[in-house]
Structure 1
Amino acid sequence: MMQLERVELCFPQLLNSSCRKPEPPNSDVVLFYSLLSSISLLGAALNLLVVFSISHFRQLHTPTNILLLSLAVSDFLVGFVVMPVEILLTETCWILGDLMCALYYLLPIITIAASVGNMVLISIDRYVAICDPLHYSTRVTQKVVTICVFLCWICSVFYSIILLYDNLKQPGRYNSCYGECVVNITGVVDLAVGFIIPITIIIVLYVRVFVVAVSQARAMRSHIATVSHKHSKIVQVKKSEIKAARTLGVLVVVFLMCYSPYYCVSLIGHDILIGSSTEVFMIFLMYFNSCLNPVIYALFYPWFRKTIRLVVTCQILQSDSHLAVIL
């Protein structure tokens, strides 16, 4: 009995079914989580800057930037809400009940599904821009892209509900004790719909984009000295599209590097238990991708660096700041 009394439980009144409270973290763990928290807040702040920049400055209201805006919204939610809660879950007891546990996990699944969907839309956007440039302006309009983004988020919500259906129908069915928050995801469905199908689409489209971009770059180099002034403008447009494809290609590669380890667990036949300690590293690696995206924007997009300067210097407070020349 003496040993049982010394054990700290999440719910002391439930002696035989309560989880034990996690041990106080040592200094190394505290430092690690402090670093994760700082990265999370920095990522949220940078993604909020992306959202504000694209929303505020009229010149940035382009179809491609609307896709980046949608991606930044999902990344902001990951950095501002999902990552901090995940950090708390690893070191504290879950006290909000089994239903709230299942409902909470709707948010990370929605944001992750939306991120994957946005990546697919970005790949399609670049494919049309590079492989069918003559019809790009008529096929890929702001209205069409806005509808696609809206449908992407709606599908992400339905997908998350389907994925967590068993957990929502019977909350807490996968918890081993009270005070734990663990849900089970159907590995085959998540692997196919959430990873294999979209990743295949992304890779196929970008391989095609890469082949066409290389051939266009060679053609431009061989004819750049003989083109007229009118044709030189077309060359400049093609150059800008190819540069955009390269930048977004970096975005896709980083995305694949961060997401692939998580889904490799399903590839070897294991179900993914969100909340289990063995998945912590892969989950945070996925979330870390959301913090890396705005850093990529800052490195490759001059317009993002310019908007940051305008925000920091408070020039956005001017009445006509939304009309500023950014590009």
Structure 2
Amino acid sequence: MQTLEEAELCFPQLLNTSCKKHIHPQSEAMLIYIVLSSISLLTVALNLLVIISISHFRQLHTPTNLLLLSLAVSDFLVGLLVTPFQILLTEPCWLLGDLVCVLYYFVPTITLSASVVNMVLISVDRYVAICDPLHYPTKITAKRVQILVFLCWGLSVFYSVVLFYDNLKQPGKYNSCYGECVINVIGVVDLIFSFIIPISAIIILYVRVFVVAVSQARAMRSHITAVTLKSSATVMAKKSEIKAARTLGVVVAVFLMCYCPYYCVSLSGYELVIGSSTVALFLIFSNSCLNPLIYAFFYPWFRKSVKLIVTLEILQPHSCEANIL
């Protein structure tokens, strides 16, 4: 009887303090492994293509694409570091220790926070491009965007340290038994700074962008007001900006659909204690895989650059000067 009881514990030698195993059916566990592994590999591969494309081809070195590059880096890290470790949480016991448990949640918070801030910056970029196009080249420069991206990642690291300070100071503090991985964060703080403030900013900016873009599109179609006085090149430039705003609007909309369920749980008043794999968290991680698919569907330059990468034509001399726009 004692042997049978010990077999159900994560650490049989610790009879009084070990967690009990909650074993999933083998078929269910195998399905989870396959799905998460596939998503992880796909996320890494697709975002690596985005990173190589924007980094290699000089035509893509624009302020907007630099923001997409930063977003792709955060998505790449999710696929490389976050999703594989999510598989470990499907195991009946956590065997990697308390410190690794904290780091498991600490690293994703950095990458996911960076994704949120990048989305805000993308919304600001589109707002200026559509609502103040004449001053866009002077307001949104590559140098300024590089500084903003650096601040984005620095702010994400700082925010994660503050959010997980109690857990980093004393790993395993909130575990009720050995073999458990539970992290406690200040739900109200995370809700306000990771969801309410940035999501409100994104929605307000894109509602404004949508209204202005629709009015500009109608003006260009009917050839009225000041648009008739512009050159055809200017009209084409505006069409390009509106198309870019529409595409990035899809990226933002998918982002909101993936992130809202998780934080809506917090809005309902539920205490944010992270201890197991949830559908809402899984939805957040899957967003990192969806962004490159959106680029492939809407951006011809991405499809062209992927073709050059896959066929190894980027190894040719002066391939960075290729015309892919």
Deviation at 1:204, TM superposition (A): 0.4
Task: Find out whether 1:297 has 2:295 as its counterpart.
Answer: yes
What is residue 169 of structure 2 aligned with on the other side? 169
Instruction: Give distance in 2, aligned partners of 1:26 and 1:324.
Output: 50
Q: Which residue of 2 aligns with 1:32?
A: 32
- The answer (yes or no) to whether the contact 2:174–2:183 under 8 Å persists in 1 is yes
- Tell me, yes or no, if the aligned pair for 1:63 and 1:140 is still in contact at 8 Å: yes
Further displaced range: 114-123 or 214-223: 214-223
Corresponding residue for 1:198? 198
Deviation at 1:230, TM superposition (A): 6.3
Q: Residue 249 of structure 1: CA displacement?
A: 0.3
Distance in 1, Cα, partners of 2:318 & 2:292: 26
> RMSD of the TM alignment (CA)?
1.9
2:276 aligns with 276
- Structure 1: runs of 5+ lacking an equivalent: none
Contact 1:74 1:111 in 2 (8 A): yes
Deviation at 1:91, TM superposition (A): 1.1
Residue correspondences, number: 325
Structure 1 position 101, deviation (Å) = 1.6
> Contact 1:187–1:266 (CA<8 Å) still a contact in 2?
yes
**Whole-Å separation in 1 of the counterparts to 2:22 and 2:150:** 41
Q: Which residue of 2 aligns with 1:240?
A: 240
Task: Give 1:126's aligned amino acid.
Answer: R
The amino acid that maps onto 1:131 is C
The 8 Å contact of residues 90 and 275 in structure 1, kept in 2 or not, is answered as: no
The DSSP-based 3-state class of the residue aligned with 1:17 is coil
Q: What is the distance in 1 between the residues matched to 2:292 and 2:189? A: 30
Percent sequence identity over aligned pairs: 71
What's the CA shift string for 1:11-43, capped at 9, x where partnerless? 222121112344254213312330221022111
Q: Calculate the TM-score normalised by the size of structure 1.
A: 0.95
Query: For residues 183 and 4 of structure 1, what CA distance do their matches in structure 2 show?
Result: 30
CA distance in structure 1 between the partners assigned to 2:62 and 2:227 by the alignment:
28
Structure 1 equivalent of residue 322 of structure 2: 324
Which amino acid counterpart does residue 87 of structure 1 have in structure 2? I
User: What is the CA-CA distance between 1:170 and the residue it aligns to?
Assistant: 2.0
> Is residue 2:257 matched to residue 1:257?
yes
TM-score (ref. length: structure 2): 0.95
1:163 partner letter: L
1:59-78 mapped onto 2 (5 Å cutoff): 59-78=59-78
Distance in 1, matches of 2:228 and 2:27, equals 67
Partners of 1:5 and 1:242 in 2: how far apart? 65
Alignment check: 8 A CA contact 2:6 2:12 kept? no
Map of 1:190-229 to 2, 5 A cutoff? Answer: 190-223=190-223
